[in-house]
Structure 1
C-alpha cells in the first residue's frame, strides 16, 4: 500500500475509446530483449550518447539529479545491479559526500556539469517545484527519466500547472525538446523501491510503466527497470504519463504486469446491441 497522502487530481483530459490503437500495454518481457549489448566504458563528451548507442550498452552510466529519499533509494538499487551511478544534490545540502557515502554507498557525488558529462541516462528526481533548477539545456540528445510528481502539499499549488491540459512530463519535456524524455519510476514510493524489488520470474514481481515518445528510449529504461527488480510495461506516448500521476489509476498501486497493462489500455468500445 502506498504511503503517499491522498490529493484530488488536477483537471486533466480523459482518454477516450478512440485512443485504444495508440495507448497500449505491451507484455513486459517484450520490452528488454533485443540486440546484443555492451557495457559503457567511455564517459564524457566522447562517449556514444545517441539513443541507439545507449540501447546497446549492458550497464549505462546513470546520473541522478536529486539526493533525497527517491534519488538515494534508486541509487542503491542501481549500484547493486552493477551500474556506475553519479548523483547531484541541492547546493544547500551540506556534507553531501558523507551523507551519500552512508545512505547510498558506491554512488559518486558530482557537480551538475560533471554528472551531465559522464552520464548516459539522466534521472530527474528533484521535487517538482524545483524542476527549473535542473540544467535541462544540457540534455540535448540524452535519455532523461522524469521521476517527479506534482505534489501541492510539498510544491505548493502552481496555477499554471493546474490549468495546463498536458501531463506534467509533457510540461517538463518542453523545457528541452531535444532531450529524449521518458516518464517512469514515479508511481511507487521510495520506501517501496527496495522492499518490492524481486528477481526476474518472481510470481509477485511488481510492474512499472514506461511512457515516452521515443520507442528506443523506452526500451533502454525498460531494461534498467528490469535490472533493478521490476517488470517494465510499455505505456506508449509521453502524453499517457497522466495515468501515472497522483490521483490516477496507476499511482501508488502494487500491480502485476498484466494488471498494469490493462490499466494502460482503454477498453475497446462495446459492440452495438443487435
Structure 2
C-alpha cells in the first residue's frame, strides 16, 4: 500500500521502518520539512516529503505527532479523498500538551483528534511503547505474540488498520468504535502493558474510565522520578501495576 506517515519521532520512524520492510511504499514527513529527515527516511526505507505531500497519492495516512499539535494541521485534509484512511497513534499528556478542556471532560482522545482534522480516524499503535514496536514484533501465529488494540467506526478502515498492525509484527484486537477508544488510552490496563490477545481483550473489558486520568498522571510522576535509569521491562511492569482495576 501507499502510506504517508506524518511524524518522524520514535513511533513514526519505527512504523515507517516496519511497514517499508513489509513491502509498503512509505512517505515520511515531519513539522520542519523534508530536508531535516532525509537521512532518517533513507535509513528506514521511506521517502522524505512535506506533510502536504504525505497526504497526497496515498491510501493510508498515519498521524504520529504530539497530541497537542493536531490543531496545527489545519485544513491539511481538505483536498484529500474520503477513501484515504487516517490512523491516529497519539496520546494525551497534559504536562506536555497543555490542558484540553474537552478531553479533560471525558471526550475520547481520538474523537477530539477527528474534530481537529475534520476526518474520521482509526486509533491504533497508540497503546505500545516505541521500543515495543521496534523490538517485540513477531511472525504471525507465534505463541504469546503481543496484541495491539484498534478502535474505529468504519469497518473497512479498521480492517485495513488490522492488516497493517499485523504487518508490523503484532496481533490486533478490535476495541470497538471510536467512542470506546478511551479503553486504550493512557492509564488503562491495555495501555503499554505488552499483553497477548486474550489478556488484552480482558484488559479492555476491565478498563475503568473514572480512574484512567489519575492513573496516567501518577505513572508520569513515577517515570519522571525514575528518569533514565528505568529499563523497558521496568516501564512495562510499572504500567501494569499502575493500571490494575480493583473490584469493589
Q: TM (normalized to structure 1)?
A: 0.69
Alignment pair present for 1:184 and 2:127: no
CA contact (8 A) 2:175 2:183 kept: no
Aligned to 2:116, the other structure's residue is in SS state coil
> What aligned pairs does 1:111-190 form with structure 2 within 5 A after superposition?
111-134=50-73, 135-141=76-82, 142-163=84-105, 165-177=106-118, 179-190=119-130
- Deviation of the 1:100 alpha carbon: 2.6
- Deviation of the 1:136 alpha carbon: 3.8
Alignment pair present for 1:262 and 2:202: yes
- Name stretches of at least 5 consecutive residues in structure 2 with no aligned partner: 208-248
- Deviation of the 1:244 alpha carbon: 0.9
Aligned to 2:95, the other structure's residue is in SS state helix
Aligned length: 204
Q: TM (normalized to structure 2)?
A: 0.76
CA contact (8 A) 2:127 2:184 kept: yes
- Deviation of the 1:225 alpha carbon: 0.7
Per residue, is there more helix in 1 or in 2?
2
RMSD of aligned alpha carbons:
1.9
Q: Which has the higher contact order (CA 8 A, sep 6+)?
A: 1
User: What is the aligned partner in structure 1 of residue 23 from structure 2?
Assistant: 82
User: What is the aligned partner in structure 2 of residue 241 from structure 1?
Assistant: 181
**Partners of 1:188 and 1:247 in 2: CA distance:** 13
> What aligned pairs does 1:3-82 form with structure 2 within 5 A after superposition?
60-82=1-23
